[in-house]
Amino acid sequence: MTKKEKAQFIIDSLEQIYPETPVPLTHSDAYTLLIAVLLSAQCTDERVNKITPHLFRKASSPQEMIKLSVEEIREIIKPCGLSPKKSQAIWRLSQILLDKYAGEVPCSFDALEELPGVGHKTASVVMAQVFGIPAFPVDTHIHRLLIRWGITKGKNVEQTEADAKKIFPKELWNKLHLQIIFYGRSHSPARSPKKNIDFITVAIGTKKAQLELKDS
């Protein structure tokens, strides 16, 4: 298959399996999604979804969040890991949203990425899923699978994102990145790839798939 043929096969296959793509992080608005994505760094969505209901019952807006101390926030989010840095970031970004944006989450990549604890991936998720702006957030699942599927040789997520944006239609980015995440978690987990040879990898015939099939 050519790279374009691989891309189309991926699109068609994932659309059949995942016609609906709910955002996996529980949230009610732009602010709560921003906080949830920030918390998901080096933490599973499942764990974040167990923590955020408690946090958002206490504070689901910037106005409410700054009334909590950093230590109170840290205690609630501790199971997510990196709680010292994340709690500081949550409190500080909430104050900035109040000071600069009247308590609203800005609809701008640059403005989001200037907030404490918010990197390009987090900003991309918010822009895509809240504001509907085309973006292709790349997490470890997407990075791993797009390499495995022969879409990229990216040595980092930045290169993988750039290659994905070149090959996949812009109007599909917001949905497709979630479809790939869902597929990776269900069909091609990183920890036991030989027991979970995914049919997309087999179908597009990457060298890695051929080797794994031979060894399994």
Which sequence positions are flagged as catalytic?
121, 139
Cα–Cα dist 53/35, whole Å: 12
C-beta atoms surrounding 18 within 10 Å = 18
Task: Decide: 136 and 165 in contact? Cβ < 8 Å.
Answer: yes
Q: What is the DSSP secondary-structure string of the chain?
A: --HHHHHHHHHHHHHHH-S----SS--SSHHHHHHHHHHTTTS-HHHHHHHHHHHHHH-SSHHHHTTS-HHHHHHHHGGGS-HHHHHHHHHHHHHHHHHHHTTPPPS-HHHHHTSTT--HHHHHHHHHHTT--------HHHHHHHHHTTS---SSHHHHHHHHHHHS-GGGHHHHHHHHHHHHHHH--TT-GGG---HHHHHHT-HHHHHHHHH-
Task: Decide: 206 and 149 in contact? Cβ < 8 Å.
Answer: yes
Output the six-digit token pair for 71. 């230590």
